[in-house]
Structures are given as C-alpha cells and as structure tokens.
Amino acid sequence: MASEPPRLIAGLEIHQQLDTREKLFCQCPTCLRDTKERSGEFTRFLRATESEMGEIDRAALEEMRTVRRFTYYAYDTTCLVEDDEEPPAPLNPEAVGVCLAISKCFGMEPVRQVHTMRKIVIDGSNTCGFQRTALVAMGGSLPGGARLETICLEEDAAQRVTDQVFSLDRLGIPLVEITTGPDLHSPEEVQATAEFIGMVLRSTGKVKRGKGTIRQDINISIPGGARVEIKGVQELGLIAEVVRREMQRQEGLITIRSELSARGASTGHQPADVTSLFAGTKSSILKKAKVILAVRLKGFGGLVGREIQPGRRLGSELSDYAKRCGVGGIFHTDELPAYGITPAEVTALREKTGAAGSDAVVLVAGTPEEAGCAARQVIRRAAMALEGVPEETRRMLEEGSTAYMRPLPGAARMYPETDIFPVTVEKAAWEAIPVPELLTEKAKRFELELGLDPAMAYQAATSENLPVFEEAVRSGVKPTLAYRAVVSAPTELSRKGIDVGRVAGKDYLAVLGAVEAGQVAKEAIPDILGAIASGKTPGEAIGSLGSGVSTDDLTRIIRKILDERKDFVREKKMAALGPLMGLVMQEVRGKVDGKLVSEALRRELERSARDGIS
C-alpha cells in the first residue's frame, strides 16, 4: 500500500547575527544605534540592473513598480563601505571562523573555497542594490532526520526606519543563514527544529542575543497548494501557529478554487468608472477620491468575504495587491452595505456593472493612476484565485496570520562579487576547530556537577549571562547563589522593565564578592543590580544598598545591643539568641544575611557568657 503523502512540506531558513567585533566587510563595530544619534544622512535612487545571468529578477521587477528613492542614516560607527562609496574589505576572518565552527556543530562539510556572491536586493535595504553572501558549508542533518542544505555567511541589511528610510548601523553585521531541506511535516516539528538550531547556534557563544538578532523564514506548501515563504518571523513561540495558519490559508484557497471552478467563475470584465454613482456618498474614503473604479468578478459572490485565516479573507488578499498601487484598501460587495455605503448605492453599483447575485464587485478609489493600477492588481490576484494558491513571499502579522509582500524571487539572483578574494578553507584549520558543548549537554552537566535542579540548570545554561555564571562558579561561588544573582535576578528585573544590559559581567562578580564577604545580604542582590542598571557603579550600589555593614560594624552593633540588655543576657544566656535576632536585624535594616547575623550573635553571646559582660 502506498503511504499517504505528507499534509505539509516545510523547510526553514534561519538568519542569526554573529557577535563578532567587526562587520563582515569593514572594521566598523557591530553595534546598533539609536536613530537620534545619527551623524548624517543621504539619499539614493536605486533601480534594477540586469544581472549578469541575463534576466531581471521578478521580485526586483515588482519592487521597481513602487518606491525607488531611499534615505539612509549614517553614524560615527559606520564608514564609506556601508555608504557604498568605498570597496568592501576582505571577508572578516573572525566571522568566517565562527561560521565554520557552526558548520562543524551541525556535521556539515565545508567548501574548499569560500566565494562571495552578490544577491540582487532593490527594496532599499542595501545601499549597493545587492546583498553579499558566501556559501561556507553544505550537508549535515538534524537529530529528527531533517537535512541541512547550506550555511552561508552574509551581511545583514540596513534596518528599515520608515517605508523609504533605512538606518546603516545594522548593514554589514555578519549573519549566518542556515537552510534546511523541505523535510519538516508538522507545525510542531517546524517549531522544534527552529528551537534546536537556535540552541546549537547559541552553544558557540559567538552569536548575538535579544530581539531581532535571529530571524526565521519558513517555506510552506501543502498538497495542491504552492510554495509560500513567510519572512522574518522573530517570535520562536509563534512558529507552529504561523505554519498552522498558512496550512489553513492554503486549504481555504484550494476550496475556493473548486467552488469558483464549479461556478464557471471568471475575471474577464474591464473595470468600470462608477465615480458618478457616489457623487453624494457618505463614505469619507469615496468622497475624497478623484476616481472610483468597480471590478466585476463573475461567480465570486460570497467567496471574497470568506475567512481563510483568522482575521483574513480572500478580500484581504485582493486588498494586499491593490495596496501596492498606493490605495488604502478596497471595498467589496460581500461586506456591503457598510462603511457609509448605502443599500441604494450597492444596488446602483450592481446595476451599472451588470453584476448578478452570484458575482462580487470590488471598488477601488484614488487618483486616476492609483485606481487604475489597483483595479488591475485586483483582477490579477482574482485570476490567481482561479488557479489556487499563488507562490508568494509573505510577512507575518500579529498573532501569526500573514499578508502578501512580493512574488517569490526567481532563480537568477546571484552573480560573483569581484571585489572580494575567495578564502580557502585549509583542512588543518577545519580539523583544529573545537566543537563546543551543546547548551542542552551543559544543562545536564550543571545538574550532575553543580547539583542544580533541572529547571535551574537549563535556565543557567541558556541564559545570556552563562559566561558570567560559569566564571562565578569556577571562582568558588555556590552554584545556587550564582544562579540567583546572575540568572534569576536579571530575569526578574527585565520583567519589571529594567534594562539589565548595562550590568557588565564584572559587576555581577563584584556583587557576588560582596555577598560572600558578608557586606551584602542575598536579599539585596536585585536592588543592587537595579541600581547598577540605572547608572550607579557597583561600589556605589553596594555602598548605598548593601548594608554598608562590615563584619566589624556588625560586631559593634551586636555588642552595643548586648550591652544595653546586660541583665536579660545574663539571665537567658544562649536562649537570648532568638529574641535578640529581631533587634539586630532591625538595626542592620535587613541588609545583612540572616545566617551571618545569627552566627555573629551566637559568637558574641558565647563570648559574653565566657568573659562576663564588662
């Protein structure tokens, strides 16, 4: 018996920024900047050039129809390479090394020579009109059996600030792009694979952390559907949901195709000018428009308004295409009368366009150029609905539904970058690269060797502060204390909206040192870290929020209390410890560890019992 074909065919393309000191093709630092810190800006016009392969990329052509003038923000941390005024420097050897180490983690085979290629990008995100990318290794497979196809070293694109404005700080930060085979067959498997790859990447200790530093593209198709690429999913936890919703969308479009086919639906009608019908309309959008065009879609009645994804209808897909022409959206008869459009206007519209009850009519409004372009785009997308699912690049909306971005890029996208010399991967150098311990292995080791419980061990191993945690433990700090100060306290502080990124590794170690010296109670750790995060030096923070109570101070305080209660102490002897604890804790304002106080108090009571109180 033949096995069932999979319900889902999916693959991942994971982009991860590397934490190298310098950018990929210049010596600028790999740090992000606030746009307010920009030192200048300039404007460029980008147009599609014919690639050396002789074809113009169809995604590029699509972009050409829209915006082509871009503004770039430059900083004192960017140079003429980002501006595309100076040729790129040779491939950053540190980035090549990290990429090779990652390749080795995944059991991939390196290429003999790393060649830099140009990939056409004319959405403005690269000042030169292309992105540089270099294939570094191939092959390999994941524990679940999915294949890895390639790992490439790439330059990150400029960060979009608004539609036509980009920030150059991100341009040129080294990225690895890891591509899996189309071997993933359930939404959960896609998510688990992305999580696993992310974990391996972090195991190298050489990747950037935090929002936007890892971005996943998901390729999805179902039987009878088409390949759709969903770009730039940043929330790992949403990946399974994104996949489920795309499967639902493709199934919805396939059902709509069958119904359209059964109804003999067609899109052959020319747009009709219906501006005059709406001369007295209450719809503010139609009132503002110079021209209103109506597109009759034969046999589409009821289907344009059908939901194909939570919050998304076939109408949303038509609208996405129309928006490329500068209009705000569309109206269609499946949702009318509404939005200030009256029943009488809808009746007049149907009469004028000759639309039957089983037909849908779509309205687009704007300048003559915008409306004409939008009407053609609506017809184009409606015609695709007769075929089923179009191949597309889509972007994620909130919650995991998606919207159209552009057609899938064609094959003729790459040609050689002649400014960069190839880099040979020496066999000896490849063999000398150490494979790092995976974070999951590290977590197991923390359980066994440090006695942490599994949840704490996992959190420590996957924490951004892992190196600090390991250093603290190596220097003899108790693992649970190190966990508390370096792993759980910063997590709690971030949840309260405190930016703990300003607390450096050495600051954590200074605070831990103060705790061990008895200068600071464990309880005061979050407050002290919070103070450091707000700009205080560790010394200042410990001074004001640690007790500032040294062991000598503590002894002095205890002796004073004992002295004031001579009779009580003489009578109760060691039994005075309990009642006096509270008094001492009050005196040190709870900022000395209770255990230290109790030890010091016991010592002093023993001393006074022995020597008598003077």
Per this entry, what is the length of the chain?
A: 614
Maximum CA pair distance of the chain?
111
573 to 147, 524, 565, 598: CA distances (angstroms):
74, 32, 11, 15
Binding-residue total with Zn ion (CB under 5 A) = 5
Cβ atoms of 436 and 204 within 8 Å: the answer is: yes
46: left (phi over 0), alpha (psi -120 to 50) or beta: beta
Q: Is 28 near Zn ion (CB under 5 A)? A: yes
Q: Min. distance of Cβ 173 from Zn ion in angstroms?
A: 10
Q: Which CB, 26 or 385, lies closer to Zn ion?
A: 26
Q: Min. distance of Cβ 515 from Zn ion in angstroms?
A: 42
Q: Min. distance of Cβ 123 from Zn ion in angstroms?
A: 21
Cβ atoms of 274 and 219 within 8 Å: the answer is: no
Q: Is 26 near Zn ion (CB under 5 A)? A: yes
Q: Which CB, 26 or 178, lies closer to Zn ion?
A: 26
- Region near Zn ion per CB under 5 A, out of 27-35, 188-196, 292-300, 397-405: 27-35
Q: Is 523 helix (H, G, I), strand (E, B) or coil?
A: helix
- Region near Zn ion per CB under 5 A, out of 81-89, 360-368, 378-386, 425-433: 81-89
What's the distance, CA 161 to chain centroid? 16
- Region near Zn ion per CB under 5 A, out of 12-20, 74-82, 219-227, 455-463: 74-82
**Contacting residue, 60, 81, 134, 260, with Zn ion by CB under 5 A:** 81
- Closest by CA to 97, choosing from 220, 204, 194, 214, is 204
Binding mask 233-272 for Zn ion (x = CB under 5 A): ----------------------------------------
- For tokens 């089923």, the residue is 388
Question: Radius of gyration of the chain from Cα atoms?
Answer: 32
Q: Min. distance of Cβ 34 from Zn ion in angstroms?
A: 18
Q: Which helix (H) or strand (E) holds 71?
A: strand 69-74
| Torsion of the alpha carbons at 217, 221, 222 and 224, rounded to the nearest 10 | 160
Q: Which CB, 79 or 511, lies closer to Zn ion?
A: 79
Q: Which CB, 79 or 153, lies closer to Zn ion?
A: 79
In order, the DSSP letters of 534-600 are TT--HHHHHHHHS----HHHHHHHHHHHHHHTHHHHHHHGGGGHHHHHHHHHHHTTT-S-HHHHHHH
Q: Min. distance of Cβ 80 from Zn ion in angstroms?
A: 7
Q: Min. distance of Cβ 174 from Zn ion in angstroms?
A: 12
Beta bridge partners of 220: 10, 228
Q: Min. distance of Cβ 28 from Zn ion in angstroms?
A: 3
Q: Which helix (H) or strand (E) holds 431?
A: helix 427-432
Q: Min. distance of Cβ 89 from Zn ion in angstroms?
A: 8
Q: Which CB, 82 or 317, lies closer to Zn ion?
A: 82
Q: Within 140-291, where are the H helices?
A: 187-203, 239-263, 284-288
Estimate the crossing angle of helix 454-462 against helix 466-474, to 10 degrees.
Answer: 110
Q: Min. distance of Cβ 25 from Zn ion in angstroms?
A: 8
Q: Cβ contacts of residue 88 below 8 Å, gap of 6+?
A: 25, 26, 81, 132, 417, 419, 420
Q: Which CB, 78 or 204, lies closer to Zn ion?
A: 78
Q: Min. distance of Cβ 82 from Zn ion in angstroms?
A: 5
Binding mask 31-70 for Zn ion (x = CB under 5 A): ----------------------------------------
Residues from 416 through 455 that contact Zn ion (CB under 5 A): none
- 3-state SS of 333-389 is HHHCCCCCCCHHHHHHHHHHHCCCCCCEEEEEEECHHHHHHHHHHHHHHHHHHHHCC
- Region near Zn ion per CB under 5 A, out of 72-80, 249-257, 331-339, 402-410: 72-80
Beta bridge partners of 132: 118
Q: Min. distance of Cβ 77 from Zn ion in angstroms?
A: 8
Q: Which CB, 38 or 413, lies closer to Zn ion?
A: 38
Cβ atoms of 305 and 283 within 8 Å: the answer is: no
Q: Which CB, 78 or 133, lies closer to Zn ion?
A: 78
Q: Min. distance of Cβ 114 from Zn ion in angstroms?
A: 21
- Region near Zn ion per CB under 5 A, out of 71-79, 213-221, 484-492, 512-520: 71-79
Q: Which CB, 28 or 134, lies closer to Zn ion?
A: 28
- DSSP-derived pairing of the beta strands 228-233 and 392-396: parallel
- For tokens 């170690």, the residue is 509
In order, the DSSP letters of 73-99 are EE-TT--TTTTTSSPPPSP-HHHHHHH
Give CA–CA dist 405/549, Å, rounded: 62
Q: Which two tokens stand for residue 575?
A: 């039994």
Q: Which CB, 79 or 460, lies closer to Zn ion?
A: 79
- Closest by CA to 587, choosing from 613, 563, 553, is 553
Q: Is 95 near Zn ion (CB under 5 A)? A: no
- Region near Zn ion per CB under 5 A, out of 28-36, 281-289, 329-337, 426-434: 28-36
Q: Which CB, 20 or 401, lies closer to Zn ion?
A: 20
Q: Which CB, 30 or 179, lies closer to Zn ion?
A: 30
Q: Which CB, 167 or 250, lies closer to Zn ion?
A: 167
**Contacting residue, 60, 79, 509, 592, with Zn ion by CB under 5 A:** 79
Q: Min. distance of Cβ 166 from Zn ion in angstroms?
A: 15
Binding mask 525-564 for Zn ion (x = CB under 5 A): ----------------------------------------
- Region near Zn ion per CB under 5 A, out of 20-28, 113-121, 363-371, 508-516: 20-28
- Region near Zn ion per CB under 5 A, out of 82-90, 129-137, 227-235, 361-369: 82-90
Q: Is 487 near Zn ion (CB under 5 A)? A: no
Q: Which CB, 85 or 163, lies closer to Zn ion?
A: 85
Give CA–CA dist 154/151, Å, rounded: 10
Q: Which CB, 87 or 501, lies closer to Zn ion?
A: 87
- Positions that interact with Zn ion (CB under 5 A): 26, 28, 79, 81-82
